[in-house]
Amino acid sequence: MLKKIVSGGQTGVDRGALDAALPRGFPCGGYCPAGRRAEDGRIPARYPLEELSSPHYQVRTRRNVEESDGTLIISPEPLGGGTLLTAGHATKTGRPCIVIPPEYPLVRPELERLAGWTQDHGIAVLNVAGPRASATPDIHAIAEAIVGWLIENTTAASRS
């Protein structure tokens, strides 16, 4: 059962995932580069991320994969850049990884496939990754909607 969302705090998918969790009071966090570095400057303090000593995005990406039970990638294919690194590191470390296309409005079969995947793999801590906002328009809102749906439909709160 899903218990925590983690991401690296970059614009786009990362912050969309955190913005889904925070207003719901759902546990979230993750690791970010030194200086809370992101494409738009410093990652805002409202995001509960642990700052690493390295300024490199790759270090943060690998750490979030390794500290999670599985990774959700919200991205169009083919994957590129840091998103491709995330998928590759998940495979290398034997962590489950699923790619969901950023369709909006949300497509119910894809959401149900995602919920089943989290259950089948016993995902408690979910790393969420994908392209930054500058690379894929509207990706923040799409990620926020997908992760929000997942929280509302696969957690203890959704079963009470």
Amino acid at 109: P
Q: What is the pTM of this model?
A: 0.95
Output the pLDDT for position 103: 78
- Residue 15 belongs to domain with CATH number: 3.40.50.450
Distances (CA, A) of 60 to 49, 51, 82: 11, 9, 10
> Which residues form the domain of 19?
4-159
What is the pLDDT of the chain when averaged over all its residues?
Answer: 95
| Total of domains in the chain | 1
Which segments of 83-149 are extended strands (E)?
A: 97-100, 125-129
Output the pLDDT for position 159: 46
Q: Is the pLDDT at 157 greater than 80, yes or no? A: no
Q: Which of 16, 19, 20, 44 is nearest to 32 (CA)?
A: 44
Dihedral angle computed from the Cα positions of residues 98, 86, 140 and 80, in that order, rounded to the nearest 10 degrees: -100
Q: Name the pLDDT band for 155 (thresholds 50, 70, 90).
A: confident
Burial class (CB in 10 A: 0-12, 13-18, 19+), 65: buried
Buried b / exposed e along 100-118 (16+ C-beta atoms within 10 A): bebeeeeeeeebeebbebb
Instruction: For residue range 16-64, list pLDDT tens digits in order.
Output: 999 999 999 999 999 999 999 999 999 999 999 999 999 999 999 999 9
